[in-house]
Amino acid sequence: MPVAPTGLEGDPDFAPYVSKREVAFTGGIDGFISTANAMKNQQIIAADKVKVLELLGLQAGRYGSAKMILAAMGSAGAGAARGSTAGAAKPARLGKPSMFYTLAFPENIYVSQNRDYGLTSGDEPELQCTNMPAQAFLDGPLMVKS
């Protein structure tokens, strides 16, 4: 069971999870993550949730929560996570998105010479995660947007 992200233990929105009254995540995380520079982008740092969704090109309808958490693993953290899950069968894998995924979405570019990660059209690394523990993504630097 995940705990509140580091530094947010006192946030009332996380109180039910800190006290273990509620389960924040019932399973692992499936999808795609990026080691993008969003956490360093001054526009994103200064923006509210609505503007962040716009800047990242995300569909607002998929993010109905009042707060949005942006977490940064960084290339070192992503590399460590990849190394620790490289030999693991499902669950808990982190790796390069398949060419079939990257070809299906125009924002992605498949670079066959690169075995570590896919690239978005913004030239940012992107990794595919399969049933990764939520806490792995909540331990890094965080920004909360309302």
The distance from CA 1 to its chain's CA centroid, rounded to whole angstroms, is: 18
The DSSP output letter for 55 is H
Which has the closest alpha carbon to 6: 117, 102, 105, 138? Answer: 138
**What is the pLDDT at residue 84?**
67
Q: Where are the domains of the chain?
A: 28-145
**What is the pLDDT at residue 141?**
74
**What is the pLDDT at residue 46?**
93
**What is the pLDDT at residue 1?**
45
The distance from CA 122 to its chain's CA centroid, rounded to whole angstroms, is: 17
CA distance 31 to 73: 15
Q: Are 141 and 64 in contact (CB under 8 A)?
A: no
**What is the pLDDT at residue 47?**
92
Torsion angle, alpha carbons of 128, 133, 139, 145, to 10 = 70
3-state secondary structure 1-58: CCCCCCCCCCCHHHHHHHCCCCCCCCCCEEEEEECCHHHHCHHHHHCCHHHHHHHHCC
Q: Are 102 and 63 in contact (CB under 8 A)?
A: no
User: What are the distances in angstroms from CA 74 to CA 25, 99, 124?
Assistant: 22, 23, 11
One digit per residue, the tens of pLDDT, for the chain of length 146 reads 455 666 777 888 777 766 666 666 667 777 777 766 777 889 988 999 999 888 877 778 878 888 887 877 655 666 666 666 666 555 567 777 888 877 777 777 888 888 777 887 767 777 788 777 666 666 667 788 88
